[in-house]
Chain A
Amino acid sequence: MAKNFNRRSLLKGILGGATVSMGLPLLNLFLNDNGNAYADGSSIPTRFGTYFWGLGLTDTPAGGTRWVPQKTGLDYEITPELQAIAALKHKVSVFSGFRAIPDTRPNLVHWSGHASILSGVAPAGSGRFDAPTLDTRVADAIGGSTRFKVLDIDASISRRPISYSTRTGSTFASPDQTTVALYRRLFGDGFQDPNSDHWAPDPAIMLRQSVLSAVTEQRQSLLRSVGHDDQIKLEQYFTSLREMENQLAVQLQRPEPREACVLPDTPAEMARAASVDVVNSNTRVMARLLAMGLACDQSRVFNFIHTGGTSETYVAGQSKIYHQITHDEPTHAQLGYQPESSKLAGLVMEGFGAFLEELDAVKEGNGTLLDNCLVFAFSDTGYAKIHSLENIPMMLAGGAGGRHKAGQHIHAPGESVTRVSLTAMQLVGAPVGEFGTGSMRTARAVSDVIA
C-alpha cells in the first residue's frame, strides 16, 4: 500500500484535511533521505534523560577495579561489571576516574556524589541540594514543546518515592512509581495519538486554560510581600502551573505524526518486592513505556531511578541488603575484591542494560530511539565500602541525534564529575557554558565525545 503514495502527495493529503488511512510503519515516508529529519524539514527531536543507580561499582583497596576498562578511546574491553552493556557498548561512552570535590563541605554519604553531578555543588546538608539539577536546565531548553516537560520515574520499590530532580533544592520531583501509574500518565487521559487521522481540538481544554489564568493573575499580588525562601517556593508553584499551561497549549495543537508511536497495552500490576530481579524487571517494563512515551513525543526529558543512594535492593531469599553488604563484606584475600558486592553491582547493571535495550528496540528514522537520546547514567559513589567520591562511575549512552561520538572510554583521574555533566548538557543543546562551583566549576566539556 505504501507504494501507492509518494511523500509529497501524502503530506498534501493530510494538510488538506483529507482522510488518510494507513499502517503505522508506513509513516517513515515522512523522513528525509538521511533519516534524521521529517519531510517538512523538522528534525527528529533529541531526548535527554538521567539514569541513576545506587552504590556505584566495585573498586578494590589495592587500587584495582571491577569495572574500569584498561583500554581508553573506542572499542574498550568489557569488564565484569560492565557485562550488561556489552551488546550496546558501541553506543555507550564510559567515564572513569572523575571525582566529586566538596572542598570545605563534608562528604555526605550517599548524597554528595550525585548532588555534585546533578547540581554542580556539594551540598551543605543531606536531603537538600544547593542548586537546581541539570535536568531542569535541559528541560527548559528542549522540553517546552511536549506535553510533559520532564518525566520522573522510580523503579526501586522503596518505602518513599525517590527523585533527585529539583528546582528549589528542597522540593524534589514526585515520580511515577508503578508501571500502571506511568502508563496512565503517558497514555491515559490527555494522550493524543500523533498518528490519528481524526484529530480535533478539545474545547474542554480551553475551559481548563481559563481556570489557570484566574490563578496566574494573582501572582504579583501574592509575591509582593514574601520572604526569600517563601518566594522560591511560590515561584516553583507558578513554574509548575506554567508547565500545566504549556501542557494544555500543546494539546490544542495537532500533534506531528510520529513514525514509531504505537499505543502500548496496559501493563500488569507489578510485584511489590525490592529484590534486584524484581527491580530489574520493573525497570524493563517502565523503560518500555518510557521509550514509547518518547517515541510518541509526550516528553523529551526524563529522570529514571533504578535504586536509591543507600540501595535497599537484595538478592531474593537473602536477608542482607546490598547497602549492608558493601560495608560489611571483607575483601576476598585471593580475589582482591568483595565478591558478593561485585555480583550485586553486576546485577544492578543488568537493569541499565535492560533499560538501554528497550530504548534501542524502538526504530526511529534510520536508527533507533536510543540514537536520538542521550542517557546520562551515574551513581552516588565510587567504591561504596568507603563512601568514596573518587572514580564515580558515569556513562553517556545514545547518539544524541548524531552529536555524541559514542562508544569510547574516557579515563581522567582526579577530574571533576561536573565536566561530564557539562558535556551531557551541551550534547543535547542546553545553553550552558559553565557548570559547578568551587573546585568543581568548569567550562571544559569532554570534547572527545562531542562530534
Chain B
Amino acid sequence: MKSARLFVLTTAIGLGLSAALCSHAVSANDSVNDNDDSSLVVAVRRLTEPQYRQSIADVFGDTIQISGRFEPERRELGLQALGSATLSLTAAGFEQYFTLAQDISRQVLSEQQRATSTPCTPASVSSFDQDCAAQFINHYGELLFRRPLSTAELDARLAAAASGTQQSGDFYTGLQLALSSLLAAPEYLFRIERAEPDPANADGWRLDAYSRASRLSFLFWNSAPDAELLAAAASGELLTNEGLQSQIARLSESPRVQEGIQAFLIDMMQIDGFDNMVKESSIYPKFNQLVADSAEQQMIRTLVDLLVVKERDYREIFTSNETFLNRPLAAIYQVPFASSEEWAPYTFPESAERSGIFSQIGFLSLYAHPGTSSPTIRGIKLHEIFLCEHTPEPPADVDFSAVVDSDAATSRERLLDHMSNPGCIVCHQRSDPPGLALEHFDGLGQLRKFENGQLIDVTADLFGNKFVGAQGLGKFLYNDPRASSCLVRNVYAYGAARMPGSAERTYINTQIEQFAGNGYRVPALFSQIARTPEFFKVVLPQGVAKNASSAPDTARAQSQQQGE
C-alpha cells in the first residue's frame, strides 16, 4: 500500500510541474480562442454509434479499427435522433468509450502512422516539444470538438502530454494521452450546441456558427464538419445567408450525402435490432444471424437505391417491388439466385405479393414473435414508422379475465375473439387491420396462404378504408397524406433534434407542399429544410444559467427565431 501511495504522489508532482510549463507555452499561442462567455448551451446530444465511427474515419482515416461495445440508443417519438438528446453515459458506457479512446490514440500514433498523423516533427522523440504538441492538439481538437479549443482545454491536454512524455520518455506516448483525453471528453462524445446573443435582435439568440456547421454536417453526412465547413464557421460565412446557402449546396451535392440520408432512413424506419433477433429454431429452421443481417441490408439497399440513387417519389417505398437479394435471402423468398455477385437487383413478380418495404423479411421478422407473426405489433409499427401515429400504452384496467383462450386456427380469428372486449377494441381496431393485411407472411416473413390448414384472409378495414393484402396496404399508404407529412416532420426533427410543435404548423405545411411540388424527392427535401431559418431556430432550455451579459430571463422555455 505504501509503495502505491508514494507512486501516486510522485505522479501528482510531475503533473503539477508539467501543467505549469504548459501554461507558459500556451499563453503565447495566438491560434487559441476561448469560448464566448455569453454563449449558452442549448442542446446536448450524445453521438450515435454511426456518427462516432464516421467522425473517426473522417478525422483519422478509415484504416482505424474501432472495436468495442457502444451504449444502447433510445428512441423518442420514433427517432433515435430525439432519444440521443435525452441520453447520457453510464459508468459501463464511459469505460467502453475510454478504452476506445486509448485504442484509437495508439493506432493514430503508432510508429507507422505518426508521420502522417502528426502535423510536425518533434525536436526530439524522447523529450517534450511544446509547439509541436500544441499544433497536434489544436488540429485534432478542432476536428473532434467541432470548434477550436479554448486556452484552458488546450492547457489541460498539454499538461497530460507533458507529464506523459516525462514519465515514459517518449513524446508520442505523451501525445497519445492528450488525444485520448480529447476522444473521451464530453465535447467529443456529445454534440453540444451553443447559442449566442443575436446582434440583429436585441433580446434574441441565434445558433452560433460552429453549432450551425455541426447541424448541417450531421444532417447531410452524418458526421462532423470537415475543415472547409469549420473554416466557414470561423470566418462568419455561415452566419450570412449567402454563405449558408453556398455550404448547403456543397454538402448536398457531395457524394457523401448518400451516407447522411441513409442514416436518416435507418433511424426513421427503425432498421435496428437485427443483431439480437431471436427465432425459435424448431419453428423457423431457416433463420440464422446471416439471414437477419441480410434482411437488414436488403431494407437499407432498397431504400437508398429508390430514394437517394434514383431519387424517386418517396411514396413508392409503399408500392415498389424492386429490391436486392443475396443468396441467404433468396432461399427464404424461395426464388432462384443465379448472380455471381454477393447482391443482385431483383424485381418481385405480382404473385409474390411483395411490394412495399414492409413486405420485406426485415420488417416482417423484426415485428413478430419468436414463434409466430404478430398482426398487432406490425400494425402498431406501421402506424408509428410511416404515419407518425403512436399507439398509447395498453391501459392497465383492461379486464383480461374476460379474455378466453382462442383455439381458432388463424391470427385473425384469434384477434377477433379478443375484439369482443371493449377495453381492447379501442386500440386494436386501429393497430390490427394493417397487420392482418400482412398475414400472408409468417413470423420470419415467409409467404404462406394457410395457417393451421385454414385459408388466411388478408382483407382489412381500417376505419372504412378497405384494402387487401400487402399490395392493397401499399396503395392505401401511398395515397395517405399522413405519410409524407410524417416524413417531413421527421426530417426536421432528425436535424434539429426537436419535433416541430403546433406553433410551427404553418411552416411544416409549407414544407409538405414544397416537398410535393418537388415530386416527393427526399434529397431535395433535405436541402429545402436546411435552407429555412426555422432549421436553426433556438429554443432555450429550462433553467439555463443567466450569467450571460445580455441574456434574457430564461426562467421558462422561450424560443427565439433567428433572423437572417
Residues of A within 8 A of B (CB): 61, 106-109, 111-112, 126-127, 148-150, 152, 157-161, 168, 170-177, 181, 201, 203, 206-215, 217-218, 221-222, 224-234, 236-237, 239-241, 243-244, 247, 249, 252-254, 272-275, 312, 314, 316-321, 324, 327-331, 385-387, 389
Question: Which of B35, B98, B101, B153 has the most chain A CB within a 10 Å cutoff?
Answer: B98
Contact with A along B169-188 (1 / 0, CB 8 A): 00001000110110011110
Closest to A256 in B: B1
- Return B137 CB to nearest CB of chain A, in Å: 10
Question: Which of A109, A158, A210, A330 has the most chain B CB within a 10 Å cutoff?
Answer: A210
Q: A107 CA to B547 CA in the complex, in Å?
A: 42
Which segment, of B84-92, B352-360, B524-532, faces chain A? B84-92
Quick one: given A244-B98, A254-B1, A386-B399, are A207 and B150 in contact (CB under 8 Å)?
no
Closest to B38 in A: A225
Q: A149 CA to B545 CA in the complex, in Å?
A: 32
List B residues 91-148 near A (Cβ within 8 Å).
Answer: 91-96, 98, 101-102
Question: Which of B168, B276, B397 has the most chain A CB within a 10 Å cutoff?
Answer: B276
Additional 8 contacts, C-beta under 8 A, given A174-B69, A214-B160: A148-B91, A158-B276, A168-B88, A225-B544, A227-B542, A233-B88, A237-B88, A272-B289
> Which listed residue (A61, A206, A231) contacts B167, Cβ 8 A?
A206
B184 contacts A227, CB within 8 Å? no
Residue numbers in B under 8 Å from A233 (CB-CB): 44, 86-88, 190
Counting from the closest, the 3 A-B pairs by CB-CB distance are A227-B541, A228-B543, A107-B396
Residue numbers in B under 8 Å from A232 (CB-CB): 88
B283 contacts A170, CB within 8 Å? no
Residue numbers in A under 8 Å from B453 (CB-CB): none
List B residues 195-213 near A (Cβ within 8 Å).
Answer: none
Q: A10 CA to B96 CA in the complex, in Å?
A: 39
Tell yes or no: B394 within 8 A of A by CB. Answer: yes
Tell yes or no: B48 within 8 A of A by CB. Answer: no
Across the A-B interface, how many residue pairs have beta carbons closer than 8 Å?
A: 258
- Return B172 CB to nearest CB of chain A, in Å: 13
- Return A113 CB to nearest CB of chain B, in Å: 10
Residues of B within 8 A of A (CB): 1, 3-4, 7-8, 11, 15, 35, 39-44, 69, 71-72, 74, 86-96, 98, 101-102, 150, 152-153, 156-157, 159-160, 163-164, 167-168, 173, 177-178, 180-181, 184-187, 189-190, 192, 273, 276-278, 280-283, 289, 369-372, 393-401, 403-406, 443, 540-545, 547-548
B396 contacts A108, CB within 8 Å? yes
Residue numbers in A under 8 Å from B289 (CB-CB): 272
Closest to A139 in B: B91
> Which listed residue (B41, B153, B283) contacts A230, Cβ 8 A?
B41
Residue numbers in A under 8 Å from B190 (CB-CB): 233-234, 237
B369 contacts A324, CB within 8 Å? yes
> Which listed residue (B94, B280, B397, B405) contacts A317, Cβ 8 A?
B280
A208 contacts B102, CB within 8 Å? yes
Residue numbers in B under 8 Å from A237 (CB-CB): 88-89, 94, 186, 189-190
> Which listed residue (B43, B280, B543) contacts A316, Cβ 8 A?
B280
Closest to A136 in B: B91
A201 contacts B181, CB within 8 Å? no
Residue numbers in B under 8 Å from A252 (CB-CB): 4, 7-8
A171 contacts B90, CB within 8 Å? yes
Q: A156 CA to B343 CA in the complex, in Å?
A: 34
Q: A234 CA to B189 CA in the complex, in Å?
A: 11
Q: A96 CA to B39 CA in the complex, in Å?
A: 55
B160 contacts A328, CB within 8 Å? no
